[in-house]
Chains A and B, each alone.
Chain A
Amino acid sequence: MPKRSPAQQLDQAINAVLSVQQPLPEPNSHPRLAALVALVRPLRAVPHPEFKARLKADLHRKAFMNEAAATSLSATPADFRPPGFPNIAPYFVVTDAAKFIDFLVAAFDGTERGRYKTPDGKIMHAEVAIGDSVVELGDTNEKISPRPATTHVYVKDADAAFARALDAGATAIFFPTSDHPSGDRWGALRDPFGNIWHIATPGRWALGSAGMPRSVQPYLHLKEAHKMLPFLESAFNAKAMGVHTSPEGAVLHATMEIAGATLEIDEAHGEFQPQPCLLHVYVANPDALYAQAIAAGATTIEPPQDKPYGERSAGVKDAFGNLWYLARYTGRPQM
């Protein structure tokens, strides 16, 4: 009988401990085996790193909301976000915004919050609520080209939403599966407008529970994604909630929190290639964050200015081509 390696002997002993709760392996199988197997029990008590990160994010969000509430009571007349908005809202530019709204309503039970039209009937700006989030969108025009994006949507039933999205014209990239490190049930598809949607039902966590992201999260597939993380930290005071990398250092998945909202990042791969997107980020002080982003290496799109649609807003572009509009809500006119 071939002699088993120390690694094999250890695993056999670990299996014994894990399966039948035997305290120790057979004696003399390996001089240091017992000392290693004794580590199994404390290893079983190690807190899950994802839980630690989620709880931290939730506490941070709660603290941030408390602070914002206290500020609004004392000095600022209103929240710096429009009512019902998350801190980060993806902005889609599509060739037929009216049909895109129909898609969002059909696939994700979206609720249209309103739309501004141009004289020629195109949609200049519209908002659709999905779950606890809001996405914004508009039609292309002679100055603005289509800007498809990738988005992670958390729903109660990923399979049902996936099927509805297919019925509404989307094409599957991969059907929902539970075989994902996050434990989520997760599928991905491309809508008729070129946007990619990751559709997931949370696995080990529940919608609304500690640390959950909002229903809609921007998802950035990037080349050399690892370079984005320090940029976000220095430009937008982002905090890494969980970063998983390959042994070679590639970002397998990262969740970054900015101003109490989260977005996801990974290294571009397969079907999931970069789609430089437009993100609307609501912050208390867009002027300061604009200056900080420029200092961190972003280029300007437009400096801070008061907008007629009820925002003070500034725009910057990162090295990956994503457009960030940093805004403080000042009271939006009725749609």
Chain B
Amino acid sequence: MVAVRRPAKTPSPPSDDERLLVEAAQADPSAFDALYELHFERIYFFIFSRVHDRASAEDITSETFHKALASLPSYEYRGTPFAAWLYRIASNAIVDHYKRSNREQQLDDLEHPLAQPELSSHDLEFIERHVHFFRLVEQLPEVQRRVVCERFVEDRSIREIAQRLSKTEGAIKQLQFRALQTLRAQIGDRHA
């Protein structure tokens, strides 16, 4: 991740708002949406940072949230944030994923600090910086966001994107440039 200066963020206890969201979802599972929106990016990145593979990250993220939804009725507050519970489910899902795919050599990677559910404040800060960054990407103007998504998420070439958006390659490069400039400026504004 890009180097940004920001005070270390330590684990905080669950806020009253989050507690209300959890209680609402326990009473009405369809209210789980709000918890999902709140935590999707951090759980996804927590997993992605360990498996380094988009397809696996998506599979494990899906498994994590499905397990969380299924286990929500038995969840109890014990003074830790809801995210900590999700990280633990995600960690178990990663181990299960590797066991299933029989990739023994990858298990060593799980010894990395980020592979453990007990995250340090540095790890949490690392994750939160990315969550913040992902949300900045979401806020880009639509056409810039689409160029960024196709270029970096879908691995498309400038030529492909130009054809798909019916623009010139030069225009796509310019949109890409503006998008990165915007992101760079926003990171600087918020973290300097």
A residues lining the B interface (CB < 8 Å):
5-8, 10-11, 14, 18, 32, 35-36, 38-49, 51-52, 55-56, 58-60, 62-64, 66-67, 181, 210, 239, 244-245, 247
Contact = CB atoms under 8 A, between A and B. Distances in A.
B69 A11 contact: no
Interface in B112-167: 130, 133-134, 137-138, 142-143, 146, 148-149, 151-155, 158, 164
Given A48-B154, A59-B32, A38 B149 contact: no
B71 to A, nearest CB: 12
A247 B2 contact: no
B168 to A, nearest CB: 12
Contact of A46 (B62, B65, B137, B177): B137
A12 to B, nearest CB: 9
Nearest to B134: A46
B82 interface: no
Interface in B28-86: 28-30, 32-33, 36-37, 40-41, 44-45, 48-49, 54, 57-58, 61-62, 65-66, 69
Contact of B58 (A18, A48, A59): A48
Interface stretch (B12-20, B92-100, B179-187): B179-187
B91 interface: no
Contact of B177 (A7, A47, A62, A181): A7
B1 interface: yes
For the complex, would chain B's binding face be called helix, strand, loop or mixed by DSSP majority?
helix
Given A36-B180, A51-B58, A56-B33, A62 B66 contact: yes
Interface residues of B, number: 50
Given A45-B45, A247-B143, A7 B54 contact: no
Nearest to A30: B177
A59 B36 contact: yes
Contact of B62 (A10, A55, A181): A55
Given A7-B173, A41-B1, A63 B29 contact: yes
Contact of B61 (A7, A49, A55): A55
B41 A47 contact: yes
15 contacts: A7-B173, A7-B174, A8-B170, A11-B177, A42-B130, A43-B148, A46-B149, A46-B153, A48-B58, A49-B149, A55-B62, A55-B65, A56-B36, A66-B29, A239-B33
Contacts of B158: 11
A59 B69 contact: yes
Given A46-B153, A48-B58, A64 B30 contact: yes
A56 B69 CA distance: 11
Contacts of B54: 48
Given A39-B184, A67-B30, A247 B142 contact: yes
Contact of B65 (A32, A40, A59, A239): A59
Contacts of B183: 39
Contacts of A247: 142-143
A45 to B, nearest CB: 5
Looking at B29, B61, B170, B180, which has the most chain A CB atoms within 10 Å of its CB? B180
A181 B143 CA distance: 14
A7 B149 contact: no
A48 B155 CA distance: 11
Closest 8 CB pairs of A and B: A63-B29, A7-B177, A43-B152, A7-B173, A36-B180, A210-B62, A47-B44, A11-B173
A8 to B, nearest CB: 6
